[in-house]
Each structure stands twice: as C-alpha cells, then as structure tokens.
Chain A
Amino acid sequence: MKLQTTCIICPRGCRLTVEDDLTVSGNSCPRGERYGRQEATDPRRSVSSTIRIDSTLVKMCPVHTSAPFPKAKIPALMEAIKPLSAKAPVHMGEAVCQNLLGTGIDLLISEDIER
C-alpha cells in the first residue's frame, strides 16, 4: 500500500510518498530515499533514555541505541533497560548492554561521568 510520510532524517522534514514498488518521491536528498524505503518496510527509531547510576554527581545516566531500533520492539526495549544500572566512571560510547532483544543493536552510554 502507498505510504505518505514525513522524513525525519534532518530538520527540513520533506513529505515523502513511497509506492508499492518502493519508489520514493518528494525527497530532497538520497538520505530521504533510504528513509522512505526503510519506513515502508521496517520502520525504526533512535531511542534515548536513562538508567540508574552509582555516582556522586547524578542519579541517572543518559543512554542511547547504537542504531535506529525496530519501532514495534521499542516498548519491549524500554522494559528491558529498566533494571539496568551503571557505576561511575562511565564514558560515552561504552556499551551497557549488547545485542538488545536479538537485534544486533547495543545500548551505549551518552555522557562522560567521572565519579
């Protein structure tokens, strides 16, 4: 079925139309074409959240997925990361959890928290 959607790759927000044969129109750049195809076949979103951290500076540590995550599995992802916690020092880019729900996507620390 034909899909009408808005590209979320950059702030420009192009209106995309994706046909049944996955041809994309309305995009202003190749990234929009890739996004349109992805959205029609396997929609994904980058997910950011927080986990508890043992630190003298903060209670929560920001984390994010290493790649856009399958949209349908996001509620399960939020449940899966609820019990996670970290201990300072942590550094951005370190993996807290690998291969989340079998997707091959990792959960990464977003901030340097030294103590």
Chain B
Amino acid sequence: MKKTVDILIIGGGAAGLGAALGAVEAGAKEILLVDRKNRLGGILTQCVHSGFGLKVFGEELTGPEFASRLARKLAETPVEVWLNAFVLSISPAKEALISSRDGLYQVSAKTIIYATGCLERTPGMIQLPGTRPSGVLTAGLAQLYLNEYGYLPGKKAFILGSGDIGLIMARRLSLEGAKVLGVAEIMPYSNGLVRNKVQCLDDFGIPLYLSHTVSRVYGNHHLEAIDLVKVDEEGKIIQGTEEHIECDLLLLSVGLLPNVGILKNAGARIGESKGAAVDGSLMTSLPGVFSAGNSLHVHDLADEAYLEGIEAGKAAVNCLKGVPEHRTMTPLSHNENIGYLVPSYYDESYLGDLLIKFRCRRPKEKCVIMVIADGEIIKTINKISMLPSEMEIIRIPKKLLKNNLKTIEVILEDRL
C-alpha cells in the first residue's frame, strides 16, 4: 500500500510529540506520526515518578502525566497517528517502509523527523566480567517490567552505575519491598542529580559506593552473587578489595546511546554525540531528514527533548517549500574540556538562532565558555560550576553570525 504525506515523524515520545506539535504550529497539514508502542508517550509512560514538565508546563508532573498532556494536545490537531507500527527503513529520497496493523506501507514524505529515542548500554558493552545468568538487566528494562507489566524482577538487588534511572529504580524497588543492597559508581562522583541521591538512596539507607565497580558476576541459571571492588584514579581495579555480595538482581545504569540504526542504514552521517550529525536546523546529512530528542543526543530532561522536537518540527515545515540547494555546513569544533557538542555544522541559510548544546568532560568550577567564529569571540559566558550530567545550552542570535564563516569553535576554560 502507498501513502504520501508532507511530514513523517518516527517516534511518539517526548521529541516526536514535540515535532508534531511544532509542525502543526508552523502550519503543516499532512503529518503522519508512527510509533511501535500501543500508546503515545514513548519511555515517559514507564517513568511513573515525578520530575517532568517544569520547563514546559511550569509544574512538576509524573512521566505518564507529561505524556498524556502532550497526547491530549495532539488529539486536537489533524496529525494522523499510527500506533503498533514499525518503520523498517527510510531512504535518502524520503521513502519509508512501514509495517503496520493493516499491512506493509510505502510512505513517501517531503520531510522526515527521526525521533526514536535512545538505547541503554548493555552488560556486553561495558564488558561486565563473569557469567550471563537471568537477573542481570538494564535499569530501564526493569522499570518496564515493574511499572508496566507488574513484575518485581528480584528481591535482593544491586545497582551498577549512579545514573538517574538507576537511582529512581533503587527507590522504586525499595517501595515495592525489594532490598537494595547498594549502588556502585566507577567515577569518584555521582552521575545523577543530587536530589535523586537524597530521595532515592539516603531516604532508604542505600549506600552509594563511589570509585567502585562490579568485577564479577556469579550464577549459571539465575544470578547468585557479584564481587564489588574499588578502582583507582584511572578506573583500574585495585586487587584485594573484592567484597562478595549475594543478590538475585543486578541492574545496569551505565549510560544511554542514541538509537540511530534506521538513520545510519539510510546513509546519514553520525556525529560525535553518537546521534546524527546535524546542522543548526537539526537537519541531518540527508537533505530534508531531521533528528531530535534522545536519538540525536541524550538529554537530561524530557522537557528538553520535547523542546528540541518542536524546533525540528518548525524547521521541517520551513523545508516543505523546498530543501535548501546549497548548505554551507561550517563545522563546529570544541576544545578537550568539552565531551561533545550539537550541532555538528552551521548552515547559514537557516534563519533561526543557533542553539549549541554540549556537556563538559569532567566536573568544573569557575570556568568560562567562549564561542569563537573565524577567530572572533562572539559570545562569552561565565559559569560558577559545571557537571557532565548537566547539558549546557547556548543561544547564538542569528545576527552575531556572519556569512561565509569557515569555523565556529566552542572553548571551555578555567577562569583565573
């Protein structure tokens, strides 16, 4: 079966919903949003805790409330939504192959917005030593089992990684009657928000082991125990510090990676955020294909993924009149104190302001951020402190950016 639309949005989570609402606001009519789940909201529906919506709605909501509010907004628009549908492939000509309840569809779009979220890093990716019994799973998967399926995946749990999902799950498991024995973090600092450490660990008397990791997993069919060890300043295991801990559940909260499979297969270039390399309008290297949300780079807050979706939605509408024939693609670079930055390029034909988003590589106190275009400092921001877990967003007004720029650099340095 065939179908033609103006804008195809892949993903119905925070960013995809933002993209749809942004595109409607900018005047688009024929929009199709596709999601593989049976309802809208993406990962938000399993995030039953509060902490969402402060930026977008000015009040603190739970994940499902945030999703439902956006879904209600979407229901008032002409956007067509296909649930239980999966996008198998997209092409640079913006043809998408979609498996839906009604059968296989070939959808031809003028623009595509890719908002498929991110994936959790697995035991294999961190080369977790030992066996692979059941009971070792990622924190987000345990969250799905517990909050959507109603299964408690273990009674005695240990958590590796102090990311926010791990901390949130420590509290959730404790409330449901499981004993959480501890959280290990390989870095000498916590990766989660301070308030999550307070209300998810301290409230339940759960110890946080900084500069620690899991050196071995035991158990053939089901997890039986782990070894917890100290690591030195370089992250290497200190022999002789092993502590044997019996447990039946090991959760991994060790980072997220943008989900780029379909986009990569279509030939889109990947940037250093591990998501697509995009220009200031969030357009990928494939003209007319945009990316936003956690599939572009991992955000701290769903609010920010949603707002980025809105930007992509507006930019996609702008592109309906015609894909820019000439893209200037001035590269954005940074110094060693910055982990990655988005976007990868600046295209002067896009009329919006340039939003630069990045994370510092290590925690920093008293530092300065400078944006330098062709050797000239165009923006300086002083910061009291910065953390890798907190994304920095800088807005460069369009009027500060000259045409025919060769380079744009972002520098982060200590302030003397």
Contacts and interface: CB of A to CB of B under 8 A. Distances in A.
Contacts of A113: 39
B48 interface: yes
B176 interface: yes
B195 A11 contact: yes
A52 interface: yes
A74 B194 contact: no
Given A13-B195, A74-B175, A78-B175, A48 B203 contact: no
A4 B199 CA distance: 14
Contacts of A60: 147-150
Interface string B149-174: 11000000000000000000000000
A79 to B, nearest CB: 9
Contacts of B198: 5-6, 8, 13
Interface residues of B, number: 33
Interface in B173-223: 175-177, 193-195, 197-199, 203
Contact of A48 (B49, B149, B194, B197): B49
Nearest to B61: A110
B48 A49 contact: yes
Nearest to B390: A11
Contacts of B147: 50, 60, 62
A52 B65 contact: no
A25 to B, nearest CB: 17
A90 to B, nearest CB: 10
A57 interface: yes
Given A50-B48, A57-B39, A92-B68, A8 B176 contact: no
B54 interface: yes
Nearest to B164: A11
B150 A111 contact: no
A49 B175 contact: yes
Interface in A43-82: 45-50, 52, 57-60, 62-64, 71, 74, 78
B45 A62 contact: yes
A107 interface: no
Contacts of A1: none
B48 A62 contact: yes
B231 to A, nearest CB: 25
A77 to B, nearest CB: 9
B292 interface: no
B150 A52 contact: yes
Nearest to B62: A110
Contacts of B203: 45, 71
A12 to B, nearest CB: 8
Contacts of B127: none
Interchain residue pairs A-B with the least CB separation, the first 6: A13-B194, A111-B64, A8-B195, A62-B48, A110-B64, A112-B68
